Structure 1
Amino acid sequence: MIDEIVADFQRNWHVYASMPVIAALIGYVTKVVAIRMMFRPIEFRGIRPFFGWQGIVPRKAARMAAIACDTMTDRLISAGEVVQRLDPERVAKELQRPLLEAVAEITREIAEEYQPALWESLPPQAQDLVVRRVQAEAPNVVKGILATVQSDVDSVFDLKGMVVENLVKDKELLNRIFLEAGKREFQFIARSGIVFGFAIGLVQMLAWATLKSPWVMPIFGGLTGWFTDWLALKMIFNPREPKRYFGLFTWQGLFLKRRKEVAADYGALIAKEIITPHNVLHAVLRGPLADRLFAVVERQITSAMDRQTRLARPLVAITVGSRRYQQLKHSVAEKVMRRMPDTLAFIEDYAEEAMDIRNTLVQKMQELSPEEFEDLIRPAFQQDEWILITVGAVLGFAVGELQVLLVENLAN
């Protein structure tokens, strides 16, 4: 029996030599395909509902975004931390020039709208005096608005909603969060397929030499695709702490082993693409809680206008009318809100420096437990993980069938 196997190996050595090589190729290709299927295509391609595919992460964008968001906002950073770092005095200073210009325009617009005859009858010096008085009050209004927001930030700023909205809207960005955090792990998965596949191919050689069954190739191909997927995923996340095996080598889950590098990349991406001053300001001004901000602005403006007209309020009431005076204050608040996006753009550089989102995220990530840190990327693998492993097995089986044809042709 052994003599026959040796003789067959000598006659068909090139056939046997091809087995571990092809098995390594199967291992690598099935990993690359599995990884791609996690993220591509962004939108469904094919014939719904069964004939086609959409990447697992973009297909479950809302759930994936919620998971990523929960990790960010529950464990790494809060809305309060984002906004509390803005200094009202510094904000007022940064906005001084655009604020004065906006105030001057709004004052003239309001005067011409509500008392055009009276305003036009005033000499230019008197008009300028009115404008300057309002401008003098503007920094206090800005500081008052910001202080009110900071005292109850959750009432005007939905950080979770902002993060989820941005990630669901931009599925490519959602992909990048997981790809950036796990780039080394995905490389490891693909490359491990070569090593594990080659090792299984050596066993395949012995099975073929002994059994000579055409089922050996597809079965081992399926086994290679399935087992290498499963083992690579295990090696990424387990064990959470360094552990020595067989007294020969030490292993720690690859993702947890390089948490410092992951924290730096993850923090930089989130600070650059998601929790940015522009996105924060847009969420405050245009988000679902914008009405509450308008109420804050209106209160501050009403208070400022009442202070300015305290002595002349009876005259104002007679000239404009009490009801119309209330409408005037509401109109001022609306005009202020309309100009806010352009005006607040001037503080984005300062806000980026003050919020310091990147360093905050990196520091907080270093403080996470291994279980919490694993949650940064694990959800991308857990969602329909069985599909990826099954696909690896099916592809491996199919390639094994092709391998049978190749081996039989080489043998002939």
Structure 2
Amino acid sequence: MVATSIWQLLAEHPEFLAMLTIPPVTAFVTWVHVWMALKMLFYPIKFWGIRIPHFPFFGLPGIGWQGIVPRKAGKISGVIVDQTLSKLGSLDEFFQAMEPDQMAEFITKTVDKNLEDLIDEIMVERSEALWRNLPFAVKRRIYAQAHQMLPSIMQSLVNDLTVHVEDLVDMRQMIVNKMESDRRLMVNMFLKVGQKEIDFIWHISALIGLVFGIIQMFIFLFIPQHWTVPFFAAIWGLLTNWIAIWMVFNPVEPRFIRYFKLFSVMGAFPFIKLEKPHWDRFRWQGGFMKRQDEVSEVFAEIVVRDLVTLENIMNEMMFGAQSMQTRELMKSHLYEILDTPVVRTSLRVSLGRREFGKLKNTIIDKSILATMVPLRDPELNESRASKIFGLFRDRIRALSPSEFQNLLRPAFREDELTLIILGGLTGFLAGWLHLIVVFYPMAS
């Protein structure tokens, strides 16, 4: 009876047909502007627009746009390390799990194959005339000495680097540097980890928009003023983005609500299966936290294959902020070769103290480059990744919900207000266009 009366009241309104367009238009516009907001969160990777020096708005270099995540890759990745990765364990623990003894064997085999060419390169660079005039028999003795000592030196060097890895590598800075140098990696990480949540936000926005559209239709019924169309469209735009993001992360801790269950939903036809009536519990929790086990697999794979990798650790160690400390440590091991009688007799006297000192520095430089070649080997990195994958996965699963949400939450929190305001702005423009295209022609 009430429904019939409401329908009759609507049908008698002079702008009835225009009013009927409000719910579907609001749903569609909401769906579109949320899609746009999500895209603007991640794209474009690089700034697109007109660059203006000292441009004061949104941290942008000019008039245009750059995705929030790639624009603030360093800050967001720092938050993820501080609030999540730092709770998973120490770099020393991860490096130990990579089995450094096996790494040393692999590096030794690779370097040993090119050891003689490496020695030739070092000597030609420092004293070409001396090396060319040196009898081949002496060169052979130097080659043999180097081949003989390489395994033990490399083993002790890797063990020493392992012991001092926390002093030589800042994990936070390593990951921030990686993210800032490869901003697409940051975007891909968030998309892989949170794709289901992003799709949820996008699709649920249409339903929320439809509900708001119905509310707006009744508002227009009792306040038949055209200004209400763009005004409330802006309000719905603001609220839709906020509600959609809120539903992904809230409540953080699970809350269980008892309800009377009559059926269950299936994935195939007939989609509904009747059940014996009984009381059940509904778990109300943010969608992202519900997927903790699933996301742990995905995020652990990203970490071990792109972030905390053997190559990244050693690259930071050799060329990062503490590289001079690494060089000093390497000197204590590599200079053992120069102190052997055959090398000291053959080179030290001939070169002189100054040139011999330069030779030492060259040996360190070339050794670092030669060591990094096998460390970049995909097969070696893949095998080391498999060693620590389970460790990362299990520890991510063990995080509390409040800690776990920080794998994805920083991407939205960083400029959440911008996304909400953008929703309001696009909602207002769409409402104004709706007014011009639908309401004014029908009113005339």
TM-score for the superposition, normalised by structure 1:
0.86
CA distance in 1, matches of 2:352, 2:24: 90
Q: Give yes or no for the alignment of 1:200 onto 2:212.
A: yes
Structure 2 residue 185 is matched with structure 1 residue 173 = yes
User: Where in structure 2 are the equivalents of 1:12-411 lying within 5 Å?
Assistant: 14-42=17-45, 43-46=47-50, 48=52, 49=55, 50=57, 51-71=63-83, 73-108=85-120, 120=133, 122=135, 124=137, 127-244=139-256, 247=259, 250-306=283-339, 308-309=340-341, 327-346=358-377, 348-355=378-385, 356-405=387-436, 406-410=438-442
Which whole-Å CA distance do the structure 2 matches of 1:246 and 1:261 have between them?
26
Between 20-29 and 155-164, report the one with greater CA deviation. 155-164
Question: After the TM superposition, which of the residue ranges 393-402 and 254-263 deviates more from structure 2?
Answer: 393-402
Deviates more, 1:45-54 or 1:23-32: 45-54
Provide the C-alpha distance between the structure 1 equivalents of 2:128 and 2:215, rounded to a whole number of angstroms.
Answer: 93
Distance in 1, matches of 2:41 and 2:153, equals: 50
Return closer, same or farther for 1:166/1:89 CA change in 2, 3 Å cut-off.
closer
1:246–1:391 distance in 2 versus 1, CA, 3 Å: farther
From the superposition, tell whether residues 318 and 28 of structure 1 become closer, same or farther in structure 2 (CA, over 3 Å).
Answer: closer
Change (3 A) 1:37 1:132: same
| Structure 1 runs not aligned, ≥5 long | none
Question: Larger deviation: 172-181 or 71-80?
Answer: 71-80
Change (3 A) 1:95 1:390: closer
Amino acid at match of 1:238: N
User: What secondary structure does 2:407 align onto?
Assistant: coil
Secondary structure at the counterpart of residue 214 of structure 1 = coil
Q: Is the 8 A contact 1:277 1:352 kept in 2?
A: no
Alpha-carbon distance in 2 for matches of 1:31, 1:258: 22
SS at match of 2:169: coil
d(CA) in 1 for partners of 2:128 and 2:8? 107
Report SS of the residue matched to 2:172: helix
Name which of structure 1's ranges 92-101 and 243-252 shifts more when overlaid on structure 2.
243-252
- Structure 2 CA distance, aligned partners of 1:331 and 1:302? 12
Contact 2:79 2:410 in 1 (8 A): yes
More strand by share: 2
Unmatched segments (≥5 aa) in structure 2: 58-62, 261-281
* TM-superposed deviation, 1:277: 2.8
Amino acid at match of 1:309: P
- Report deviation, 1:133: 2.3
The answer to whether the 8 A contact 2:22-2:214 is kept is yes
The SS at the match of 2:149 is helix
Contact 2:226/2:435 (8 A) holds in 1: yes
Structure 1 residue 93 displacement after superposition: 2.7
Provide the C-alpha distance between the structure 2 equivalents of 1:7 and 1:314, rounded to a whole number of angstroms: 108
**Which stretch shifts more, 243-252 or 253-262?**
243-252
Give the Cα–Cα distance (whole angstroms) in 1 for the partners of residues 182 and 388 of structure 2.
Answer: 20
Secondary structure, in 3 states, of the residue corresponding to 2:64?
strand
User: Could you tell me whether the CA contact under 8 Å between 2:40 and 2:66 is conserved in 1?
Assistant: yes
Are residues 18 and 251 of structure 1, via their aligned partners in 2, closer, same or farther at CA, if it must alter by over 3 Å?
same
CA change 1:264–1:411 in 2 (3 A) is farther
**Distance in 2 separating the partners of 1:4 and 1:371:** 46
The match for 2:273 is: none
Query: CA shift at 1:274, angstroms?
Result: 2.5
Contact 1:88 1:142 in 2 (8 A): no
Tell me, yes or no, if the aligned pair for 1:222 and 1:396 is still in contact at 8 Å.
yes
**For 1:192-216, what per-residue CA distance to the aligned partner results, in whole angstroms no more than 9, with x for missing partners?**
1111111111122222222221122
Compute the RMSD of aligned alpha carbons.
3.2
Tell me which moved more, 64-73 or 245-254. Answer: 245-254
Displacement, 1:86? 4.1
1:266 CA drift (Å): 1.6
Cα shift at 1:321: 5.4
> What is the percentage of aligned positions where both structures have the same residue?
25
Deviates more, 1:173-182 or 1:366-375: 173-182
Kindly tell me the number of residue pairs found equivalent between the two proteins: 407
| Counterpart contact for 2:43–2:66, Cα < 8 Å | yes
Deviates more, 1:127-136 or 1:86-95: 86-95
Question: Could you list the per-position Cα deviations for residues 223-256 of structure 1 after superposition, in whole angstroms to 9, with x for gaps in the alignment?
Answer: 2212211211221111123335694754210010
Matching residue's letter, 1:337: I
Secondary structure of the 1:182 match is: helix
The CA deviation at 1:150 is 1.1
Call closer, same or farther: CA 1:135–1:208 in 2, change over 3 Å: same
